[in-house]
Amino acid sequence: MTNISLSVIVPVYNEEKTVASVLKRLAAVSAVTEIIVVDDGSVDNSVKECKKISSKKIQVFSKKNGGKGSAVRFGLAKAKGKYVLIQDADLEYDPDDIAALLEPVSKGKVEIVYGSRFLGPHMNLLFWHRVGNTFLNFLVNILYNTTLSDMETCYKLLPRQVFLNLDLQANNFDIEPEITCKLLKKGYKIYEVPISYVGRDFSEGKKLTWRDGTDAVFTIIGLRLAP
């Protein structure tokens, strides 16, 4: 895996309790060559916490609040690695699993890898979040003729140039279905590997709501119908 340069984009919005720990663990992953932190207008001490972690890999940028998608697009414009991965700033996804995503790429088997929360060990999800995930996966699988188990996963490993060629437009959490649907529509194959997952609830900072699910449905259908 030493021949793969990997940029990790970390969108941050009010994650002062966890972001430093996430960055410390990311910096310890040898395969990660660059960590691009994009603070999306946090009003807590997130930026201060980011700067506590001393590593030449880490770059911290700040922008006005615009949503996760806007932060990801901002980070893509800064990334220089051959491959790019998105890492949420909470502790739901474990940086130790990055090696599992890189392994099939390093062996030349595939170029796009998703880490599936539902193929690996995971904490029980909130009931309606699991229902929503199941429905969105079903919708993507039906409309795009595939069998993905977790199209909403944050852990999407793509070549940087493929990411850029998708011409992403979403500003919020609908960035996830936009990435997946555009990949599938362009004919790319997605390889899934199991990852661990420890989901949060709203009292711990969970931000997804039913409105994000509605946006995802419109994104999935809209991209399928688009020329």
Give the C-alpha distances (Å, rounded to integers) separating 171 from 73, 174, 216: 8, 7, 12
Handedness of CA 104, 106, 109, 110 (dihedral sign): positive
Paired strand residues for 6: 32, 83
Tens of pLDDT, residue by residue over 175-197, are 999 999 999 999 999 999 999 98
Tens of pLDDT, residue by residue over 164-175, are 999 999 999 899
Tens of pLDDT, residue by residue over 12-31, are 999 999 999 999 999 999 99
Q: Answer whether residue 1 shows pLDDT above 60.
A: no
SS3 195: coil
Half-sphere exposure of 71 (CA within 13 A, CB side): 30
CATH number for the region 6-225 comes to 3.90.550.10
A 10 A CB-CB count for 29 gives 18
Pairing verdict, β 113-116 and 156-159: antiparallel
Tens of pLDDT, residue by residue over 56-81, are 999 999 999 999 999 999 999 999 99
Query: Any idea where the domains of the chain sit in the sequence?
Result: 6-225
* Residue 119: predicted pLDDT: 82
Pairing verdict, β 156-159 and 191-194: unpaired
Q: Answer whether residue 203 shows pLDDT above 70.
A: no
pTM score of the predicted model? 0.89
